[in-house]
Amino acid sequence: MDSTVRVVESPFVAPSEPTPRKGLWLSSLDLLIAKRGHTPTFYLFHNNDSASDFFDVARLKAAMAKALVPFYPLAGRLGVDNSGRMEIDCNSEGALFVIARADYITIDEIKDVKPSPELRRQLVPRIEPSSVLMAVQVTFKCGGVALGTALHHASIDAMSAFHFFQTWSSFSRDGDRAAVELPCHDRTLLRARSPPIIHPNTHSITFSISKDQVTALKRRCNGASALLWQCVCVVRRLPPDAEARLTLSADIRRRVTPPLPERYFGNALVRVGVAVAVRDVIPSEALTSIAGRIRAAVRRMDNEMVRSAIDYFQVVEMSGQWAASGTRPETELHVTSWLGMPVYDADFGWGLPRVMSLAESNVGGFVHLMSDGPADAGGVRVLMSMEAANVNELERLLYEALARCTC
């Protein structure tokens, strides 16, 4: 990534039609994750047929302006209400749209680059001011385009983000014929109960896994998260009697009663935890049992547990005791899965992206699982931050375990 990126222009794109002007209330689930700031991701697109209008800037801007009409909060700014509580100021000031060029590196040279601060600096726009909720950067490179994105986590989760990219790309590709599924902006659907009722059990590196390995792992235990947890516990040499904890982000859209609208736009994730002694995690024969524990924990996340978690976060918010973000303890691992989401469904009119990935992943103990290509590819990409001293051993253990699964 030894390349100088030259910014050509950096305008703001506002909605193409008038949109509601108001303060948008944020749920405790939005505020809980707001401290993460902007999530940096990027898509890589190849200009296979040397199209003269490849990623035409005017076309992209016009399509974004149309998409921001139904997705108007993304054109707003972070603000605070009269009580000092964070909200989204829906003021239609627009999303940042950066056009850049990098003349000394090709798309093929960066498609296998791991997430890093340098990759983020090259491909993802710098946010100015920090209250901007969405920024994109179209970087023209030899052979194609890198589309870098930065969306503030207070405004959306991954499912909502991919909904926006589907809509934007559809307007670019199909114009006024684009099929648009309208988002639901009513975040009071996840308001805490009054009074809160907290259930006692509420708080209880990059690797690629091939399609064949994924099939074998599903056949054996359906446990990619379980396998990663097992390998991490081994390489960290945790004491056998220590408590190992795995947390996962569970989508609650269909877990509450009544279910949230299909296109609920906001953060609808609650963490699910599994805690067991290290000695019960690391034996290879324990993989099926651990995977079963994880599935059982996810199944327990019903309406009462979800509402209890929201009430708990509301109480914590009011007490001013939000936990600081940063590296997790060595006994903990957090897994976020984008598997099954429309990660690659962003055809702006010039074909599907070759690569979609995080641009930076530097919080220790966090793992992202995503498709290693379009839906028919079948593989899984594992993005994780790990202690440098343990990376090589973790990679060796992971692939050895996968080899045993395929035998």
Alpha-carbon distance of 31 to 85, in angstroms, equals 9
Closest C-alpha among 360, 356, 363 to residue 162: 356
Alpha-carbon distance of 24 to 287, in angstroms, equals 44
Alpha-carbon distance of 192 to 196, in angstroms, equals 7
Alpha-carbon distance of 51 to 119, in angstroms, equals 27
Alpha-carbon distance of 205 to 363, in angstroms, equals 11
Alpha-carbon distance of 132 to 74, in angstroms, equals 8
Alpha-carbon distance of 291 to 225, in angstroms, equals 8
Closest C-alpha among 174, 152, 161 to residue 66: 174
Give Cβ neighbours of residue 285 (< 8 Å, ≥ 6 apart): none
Instruction: Report which residue type is found at 166.
Output: Q
The SS3 call for residue 148 is strand
347 is catalytic: yes
First CA to last CA distance, the chain: 38
Q: Between vectors from CA 149 to CA 146 and to CA 150, what angle results, nearest 5°?
A: 155
Dig out the tokens for 329 from the structure: 């303890």
Annotated catalytic residue within 46, 153, 163, 368: 153
Alpha-carbon distance of 334 to 327, in angstroms, equals 11
Alpha-carbon distance of 215 to 235, in angstroms, equals 25
Positive or negative torsion for Cα 325, 327, 333, 334 = positive
Q: How many helices (H) and strands (E) does the chain have?
A: 10, 16
Closest C-alpha among 292, 249, 255 to residue 270: 249
251 is catalytic: no
Give me the active site residues, please.
Answer: 153, 347
